[in-house]
A = this chain, B = another copy of it.
Amino acid sequence: MKKLLNDPQNVVRESLAGFAAAHADLIRVCFDPVYVVRADAPVSGKVGVISGGGSGHEPMHGGFVGRGMLDAACPGQVFTSPTPNQMEAASSAVEGGAGVLQIVKNFTGDIMNFEMAAELCQARGIEGQAVIVNDDVAVEDSLYTAGRRGVGTTVLAEKICGAAAERGYDLSRVAAVGRKVIGKGRSMGMALSPCTVPAAGKPSFVLGQNEMEMGIGIHGEPGRERMPLSKAREVTAYMAETILADLPFRTGDRVIAMVNGMGATPLMELYLVNGELERILAARQIAVVRRLVGNYITSLEMAGCSITLLQADDELLSLWDEPVRTPALRWGI
C-alpha cells in the first residue's frame, strides 16, 4: 500500500484536521463526535441540509459544506457509515428552527444509522425529513444495498436542495425538490483499477491487465460485468445508453451532466469522455445545459469514471444556478 498517511487507523481524523485548517473561512470541523459544519451554522429560519457517509469519496460530502449547499456532513471511517450520534450532533448544530433534511445514499448501513439519528432528533424536538438517493442503474441489489445504490446524483441533490433551503423553501418543499432530483437523476460507473482501504492495506478487488469493471460501486463492490478493456468511445456509449434507457431520457430533454472521476483518472481522460458523451447526447437531441467534469464522488485512488444525467426543468436549473460557496464547488460568490 503506497499512500501519504501516518497511521492507517487515524487517516480520517488527520485528513479532517488538514481540511479544517485549509477552509476555516467556510467550515468548522467538530471532532467529538466527528462532523463538518458551515462556519456560520445554524442559519436562523433556514432548513438545515445534512448528508454523510463513509469517507474515501472526497470531496463528497465535507467538500460540499458551505453557503448554498450542505449545512453539515458526517464522515464515517473509510467506506463505513457514520454513526447516529454523529448525525444527531450535526443536526443539532444546523437546526435553525425550520427543520433538517437528511440526504442519504442508499446503502444499508447509512439508511439504518440515519433512521436512528432521525428518531434521536425527533425526541429532541428537531423536525426532520429524509430523501434517499438510489440512482445507480448498474445493478438492482448489491453487496451493501437493497435496491439501487446511491451515487453521483447525490452531488446534484446536495447542490439543488442546498439552493432551495438557501432560498427559504420550507422543509417539505426542500424535500420535494430533493425527491424530484432523485426521480430524474441516473448514474453508472466503471473502474480500470481497484482501490485500497488504508486499514485493510490491500486492494479490495483485482482486475487483470486487460480488464475493466462496468457498473462498479463506489466502494469497489462488483458491478454489472467484467469486460475486456475497450476504447473510451465504447465505454462511454455503454454507460450512456444504459442510463438513457433507464429513465428513459427522451429527445428534447434538457440535462445536467456530470462526468466524474473515481480518484486516479487524469482530467485529460475525463474531458475526453465528456466529448464522447456530448456527441451521443447531441445525436439524440438531448441538450446538455449544465455540466460538471472532475472528481466529485470518488473511491480513493480507483481509476475509472462515472456518468450522471439529470433531466432538468426550469425549477431545477434555476436552483442549480444559485450561488454556492464550498471547498469543492463554488460559483457566483
Contact = CB atoms under 8 A, between A and B. Distances in A.
A5 B272 contact: yes
This chain: copies in complex:
2
Q: Which of the listed residues A2, A271, A295 has the most CB atoms from chain B within 10 Å of its own CB?
A: A271
A290 to B, nearest CB: 10
B274 A18 contact: yes
A116 interface: no
Interface in A140-194: 192-193
| Chain A, interface SS category | mixed
Chain A: interface size category: 35 or more
B268 A22 contact: no
B263 A264 contact: yes
Interface stretch (A125-133, A228-236, A248-256): A228-236
A14 interface: yes
A192 B4 contact: yes
Contacts of A49: none
Nearest to A14: B272
Interface in A272-324: 272-278, 288, 291, 293, 295, 298, 300-301, 303-305
Interface of A: 2-6, 11-12, 14-19, 21-22, 55-56, 58-59, 63, 192-193, 209, 212, 229, 231-233, 235, 263-278, 288, 291, 293, 295, 298, 300-301, 303-305, 330-333
